Amino acid sequence: MLRRRIIDEWFMSDNVQAAVVRMEALVPELDDAALQWASRLGLALHGDADFALQLGPAGLQLSELGDKAPGPVKVDFVEGAVAHRRLFGGGSGQMIAKAVGIQQGIRPVVLDATAGLGRDSFVLASLGCNVSMIERQPLIAALLEDGLARARLDLDVAPICARMRLLQGNAIELMSAWQGDAPQVIYLDPMFPHRDKSALVKKEMRLFRPLVGDDQDAPALLAAAMALATHRVVVKRPRKAPIIEGFKPGYALEGKSSRYDIYPLKKLQ
């Protein structure tokens, strides 16, 4: 099988070592589309790689290369774990729904400033919230963009994705220069050494940490969110993790492995 290989050194922040990423078209018919992604992401055409952004008939996926590497990660809002959660996850009774203030007759406008693969944003959109998402890592943003595009072709999921908007860039800068109506709720889930031992989370953390690292700027991220949100800020943390420096939450919702720190500013109604 002919594969187009595109390689680049990807530097994301001072606390992340250089990771070499290449792009592969998994079938020859997608060579041109892969080149378009490469041009857009600024990738080169030489060398070896630690990771591969792969384009196949089922969309984009990110893979770590090597004999003991986990399987690829992709965004899929139509099938798999996200679909199961949409159908059987507990609806507005979920802790994240309570954290952002969803209740009868209230569906706040939400900004997810650390979107990642968009799972939490999708949950909130599936419950009726309009959600803007910010993802600063271009490779992860590409996975999310591709997943949204495919999901919008599905009759059941398209109405949910219509309530989701993706922005790629630095969340602190984008929030500080926000245009238009401010979000009622800002949701943050900064990168942290999560203790969740599920295979899915472990695989994603292994893939993303060399590209993203921990969010050393979490205090600045929280400060920007507090300055922009009109009603509350919600921060997801591992259950026993310390609060983010700078502000004291009004209260917290605690689960088995995660905790939601709530910073109320104004009553949602």
Annotated binding residues, as ranges? 119-120, 135-136, 189
Residue with token string 């993203």:
212
Residue 77 burial (C-beta neighbours within 10 Å; 0-12, 13-18, 19+) = buried
Residue type, 159: P
The amino acid sitting at 137 is: Q
Tokens of 172: 């602190």
Residue 156: what are its φ and ψ, rounded to 5°? -75, -35
- Give the residue from 63, 71, 67 showing the smallest Cα distance to 19: 63
- SS3 call for 2: coil
- What are residue 62's DSSP bridge partners? 53, 73
Three-class DSSP category at 55: strand
From 184, 178, 190, select the one nearest 236 (Cα to Cα): 190
131-135 and 164-168 strand pairing? parallel
Residues within the annotated binding site for S-adenosyl-L-methionine? 119-120, 135-136, 189
